[in-house]
Structure 1
Amino acid sequence: MNGFVLGGVSSGVGKTVATLSIVQALEDAEYAVQPAKAGPDFIDPSHHEAIAGRSSRTLDLWLCGEDGIRRNYRRGEGDICVVEGVMGLYDGDGSSTAMVAEALELPVVLVVDAKAGMESVAATALGFKEYADSIGRDIEVAGVVAQRAHGGRHERGIRDALPDGLEYFGRIPPNDDLEIPDRHLGLEMGEEAALPRDALREAAESLEAERLADVATEPPVPSSDEPVQFAETVDATVAVASDSTFCFRYPATIERFRERAAVVTFSPVAGDPVPDCDGVYLPGGYPELHAAELESSDALGELGRLASEGLPVLGECGGLMTMSQSLTTAEGDTHEMAGILPADVTMHDRYQALDHVELEASEGTLTADAGETIRGHEFHYSSAEVDGDARFAFETVRGDGIDGDHDGLTEYDSLGTYVHVHAESGAFDRFLEAISR
C-alpha cells in the first residue's frame, strides 16, 4: 500500500483538518484510504475513522520500533495510506514526524498556514526541505498543501512562488465549519464532533487528489512479521471496557487480544455487569466527564469486589483513575470509584504530564517481568495521591509516572498505570500470559 505523510510546520497549523480533507478528496476520486497517525494519539485517529470508515493505525517509533511501525502500516487496508504527523515536522526527540517518514521511506506533504502569506509559503516549504539535508535526514519534502488559503490571486501567488522540486497539492479554504471543538486533552472525539461532509467535500474540491495519489510510495517490509516472541493462543477471556469513558485504545491492542484470546466488551457507564472473564482491561479516556455515572454504576462496585477476590484488572490512565478510591473533578466534586487501588485522584486545569515514557519493572507484574523495561506515553490532567503503604511495580526511567519516580500501582492481582503502551511493547501479551495461568 502506497502512502505519504502530512507534516505540519508547527502544532496548530491544521493538520487534522487537512488530513480529513485529503481523505475526502481521495475517497471522492475513488481511492480507498487507510488513515494513520504519526505519534501517540487517540483523538485525531477517532476523526480519521469517522471520515475514512477505517481504524487509524498508530505509527510511533518510541512505542513500536522501526519494524513495529512497518508491521502496523502493513496491517492497514486500502489503496493509499495518509499519515497525519504530530506537532511540527521535526519536533519531538522520541518519534518526530520526520523520523517516522524516514523510517517508512514515505514522502512528506507539508501543511503550511497560508492565511497571511504567498511567497512566504514557498520560502517556508523550501526551508523545511533543505533543513532535512542539513541534519542528515533522508526525507523527501515533496510539496505543500496551503491551509486557510483563498483562491484566485492568493492561490496563484503560492503556486507560482514554489521552486522546482516542490509541488503544489492544493489548498484548504477558510471555513468556520472546518473547526473541531476541543477540550482539555485536545480535540473532541470524532464520534462527538465529526466534521460535516459538505464542508469537507467543498475543501476536497480545492485539492489535487491525483497528484497526491501519484506522489505516494510503498514502505519497505519489516524484517519480521511477528511483533514479539508470543504467538500462540491462550485459554483466556479478556473483558474490555468500551464506552464514552473508556475510549482511548489502539486498534492493534484489541487486534492482539483477539488473535490470542477471546474478547468481550462491556460498558461500566451504562452499568453493564462485568462479563465472565479471566481479566479486565480498562483503557484510558474521560472518567472525569462521567464521574457521577460511574459512581452510581453497579459495575464499579462489582469490579472492586472481583479484584479483591483475585480477578486481574489492568487500567491505563483513565483506567487507573477509575480503579482508585475517589476522583475529584476540576469543579471540586468528589466521587467514589472502584476502590481497587490505594489512591485518590484529582483533576487539574493544566496537564500534569506529557511525554514519551520508559518504565523499568522493579517486580514482576501483569505487563512485565522484574527488570524488564517497557515504553509508552503519558498525557493527563490528573494527579494521584497514594496511601503510604502503596506498592509500585515500576520505576520511571523517563517520564513522570504517578509520583515522579514510580508508576504502576499494584494491589491484589491488579495494576493501574498512567502510561499508555502499544501492543508492540509486548505488555499486553504478558498480560494474556498472566491471566491464562
Structure 2
Amino acid sequence: MRGVVVAGTASGVGKTVTTLAVCRALEREGYAVQPAKAGPDFIDPSHHAAIVGKPSRTLDPWLEGDDGMRRTYARGEGDICVVEGMMGLYDGDTSTARVAALLDLPVVLVADARAGMQSVAATAYGFRTYADRMGIDADVAGVIASRAHGGRHAEGIRDALPEELPYLGRIPPSDDLEIPERHLGLYLGDEAPLSDEALDAAADGIRADALAEVAREPDWDAEEVESGTRAEPVQATDSDRPTIAVARDEAFCFVYPSTLARLESLGTVSYFSPVAGDDLPDCDGVYLPGGYPERFAADLASSPTLSELADRAADGLPVFGECGGLMALTESLTTTDGDTHEMAGILPADVTMQERYQALDHVELRATDGTLTADAGETLRGHEFHYSSADPATDARFAFDVERGTGIDGREGLTEYRTLGTYAHVHPESGAFDRFVSRLTD
C-alpha cells in the first residue's frame, strides 16, 4: 500500500483539516484511502473515521516498537494510506519525521500561509534541508498551503517553491473548517464533523493526482515484519475463548482499533454502556477504555452498571481500566464545577478534575509483581494525557514503578482484588492485552 505523511510546520497549522481534505480529494479520484495517525492520539482518528468510513490506524514507535508500527501500517487496506502527523514535523523524540522515516513514506508539509507568500516556500525549503542536519531520513516531497486564498496568493506560493518541492494545493481560510476544542483536544468526529459542503470546498483545492504521484510503497517487507509479530494467531475453539466485556459509549470512547481487533481475535467481545446503565454482560473479564467520564459523572454515579461491576470485582472478576476507566473505578470523581460523584468504589482513590493537564508524555512502567497486563519485572510502554489528579489511600497498592512519566503519586497501576487501573494507555503490540486475556482463565 502506498502512503504519504501529512505533517505540519507546527501545531495549529491545520493538519487535521488538511488530512481530511486530502482523504476526500483522493476518494473523489477513485482511490481507496486508509487513514492513519502518527502518535497516540484518539481524537483526530475519530475525524478520519467519520470522513473515510473505516478505522484510522495508530502509528507510534514508542507504543508499538518499530516493527510493530510497520505491522500496524501493513494491516491497513486501501490504495493509499494518508497518515496525519503530530505537532511539528521534527518535534518530540518520536517525531512525525521519525515515523515517516521508519515507514519509508514521503512527507507532504502543511505550511500556514495566512500571512506569507514567498516566505512559505522558504519555510518549506528549510524543513526539507533540516532533515539532513537532524540525521533523519525524512523526505519532504511536497507542500500544501493552509489558510491560503486563491489567485495571486496561491500562485505566489506555487511559483516560489523549488522544483523538488511541488505545490500540492491549498486549504482556503474558512470558519466552516474550524473544529471546536475542549480539554484533551478537538471535539470527536461524531460530535463536530465538518460539513460535506465545507470539506468538498477544501478538497477542491487539493491536487489529488499530483499528491497520489508523491505517495509511494514503503521499501520494507510487510511479510517479514508480520512474521515477527508478538501477537501470534490464536488457536482456540469457541468454547475455549473467554468473553471480554468492553465498555463503549460517550464516556469510554478512547480505544485503539487495533486493541478491539486483538481482543476480538483472542476471545468473544461483548460491548456494554455504563452511561446507559446496561447490565454487565456475562463475561470472564472487563475492559474499561479511556474517554470522558467527567462529562458523564452524574450518569455514571447513578448507573447500576458500576454497582454491579463493583460486586463482580469483589468476587474476583478481572477488570482492567485505562485513564477514564481508572477514574470510573475509583471511590469518587470531582468535576471542575466542584461537584463530587460516587464512582464504582473498587480502587482506593479519589479523583479530581483540574483546569490544566496533569500529565502528557510517553511512559515506561516496570511491573513490581505480576499483574493483569505484565509479569513481574516486565516493562510496558504507553502514553498518558489527563486533566485529573488521583489521591490514593495511604494503604493503596500499586502494580508498577514509573521509569518514565508521571503516573499516580509517582507510581502507577492501582490494584485491588483482580482489578487494575492505570492512567497509561497501552497498545496491543506491547503484548499487554494478550496477557490480560490469558489471565481471564487462570
TM-score range, shorter chain: over 0.9
Following superposition, the deviation at residue 77 of structure 1 comes to 1.0
Give the match for residue 415 of structure 1.
Answer: 420
> CA separation in 2, counterparts of 1:30 and 1:188?
29
Following superposition, the deviation at residue 230 of structure 1 comes to 4.6
Q: Deviations over 1:36-89 (max 9, x none)?
A: 000000000000000000100000010011111111011111111000000000
Any conservation in 2 of the 1:125–1:144 contact (CA below 8 Å)? Answer: yes
Any conservation in 2 of the 1:230–1:429 contact (CA below 8 Å)? Answer: no
One-letter identity of the residue aligned with 1:350: R
Give the match for residue 304 of structure 2.
Answer: 298
Give the match for residue 224 of structure 1.
Answer: 225
Query: Superposition pairs for residues 27-426 of structure 1, below 5 Å?
Result: 27-93=27-93, 95-219=94-218, 220-222=220-222, 223-225=224-226, 226-228=228-230, 230-232=232-234, 233=236, 235-403=241-409, 405-426=410-431
One-letter identity of the residue aligned with 2:439: A
Any conservation in 1 of the 2:59–2:72 contact (CA below 8 Å)? Answer: yes
> CA separation in 1, counterparts of 2:305 and 2:264?
23
Any conservation in 2 of the 1:375–1:421 contact (CA below 8 Å)? Answer: yes
Q: Deviations over 1:365-420 (max 9, x none)?
A: 000000000000000000000001100000000000011x2100000001000000
Following superposition, the deviation at residue 229 of structure 1 comes to 5.7
> CA separation in 1, counterparts of 2:394 and 2:233?
40
One-letter identity of the residue aligned with 1:165: E
> CA separation in 1, counterparts of 2:335 and 2:136?
45
Any conservation in 1 of the 2:142–2:214 contact (CA below 8 Å)? Answer: no
Q: Deviations over 1:124-148 (max 9, x none)?
A: 0000000001122111100100000
One-letter identity of the residue aligned with 1:195: L
Give the alignment's TM-score, normalised by structure 2: 0.97
Percent of aligned pairs with the same amino acid: 66
Any conservation in 2 of the 1:243–1:267 contact (CA below 8 Å)? Answer: yes
> CA separation in 2, counterparts of 1:25 and 1:124?
25
One-letter identity of the residue aligned with 2:225: S
Any conservation in 2 of the 1:282–1:319 contact (CA below 8 Å)? Answer: yes
> CA separation in 2, counterparts of 1:125 and 1:57?
27
Which ranges of structure 2 fall in alignment gaps of 5 or more residues?
A: none
1:34 aligned counterpart, secondary structure: strand
Following superposition, the deviation at residue 218 of structure 1 comes to 1.4
> CA separation in 2, counterparts of 1:36 and 1:347?
30
Q: Deviations over 1:310-347 (max 9, x none)?
A: 00110000000000000000110000000010000000
One-letter identity of the residue aligned with 1:42: F
One-letter identity of the residue aligned with 2:213: D
Give the match for residue 437 of structure 2.
Answer: 432
1:420 aligned counterpart, secondary structure: coil
Any conservation in 2 of the 1:235–1:436 contact (CA below 8 Å)? Answer: no
Q: Deviations over 1:187-223 (max 9, x none)?
A: 0000100111110101111110001111111122343
Any conservation in 1 of the 2:231–2:434 contact (CA below 8 Å)? Answer: no
One-letter identity of the residue aligned with 1:413: R
One-letter identity of the residue aligned with 1:194: P
Any conservation in 2 of the 1:36–1:84 contact (CA below 8 Å)? Answer: yes
2:327 aligned counterpart, secondary structure: helix
User: Which has the larger displacement, 169-178 or 216-225?
Assistant: 216-225
User: Which has the larger displacement, 211-220 or 11-20?
Assistant: 211-220
> CA separation in 2, counterparts of 1:360 and 1:218?
37
> CA separation in 1, counterparts of 2:109 and 2:221?
25
Report the CA distance shift for 1:224/1:152 in structure 2 as closer, same or farther (over 3 A): closer
> CA separation in 1, counterparts of 2:229 and 2:200?
38
One-letter identity of the residue aligned with 2:436: F
Aligned residues: 435
Superposition misfits of 4+ residues, deviation over 4 angstroms: none
1:289 aligned counterpart, secondary structure: helix
Which ranges of structure 1 fall in alignment gaps of 5 or more residues?
A: none
> CA separation in 2, counterparts of 1:236 and 1:373?
25
One-letter identity of the residue aligned with 2:345: G
Following superposition, the deviation at residue 90 of structure 1 comes to 0.3
Following superposition, the deviation at residue 436 of structure 1 comes to 2.1
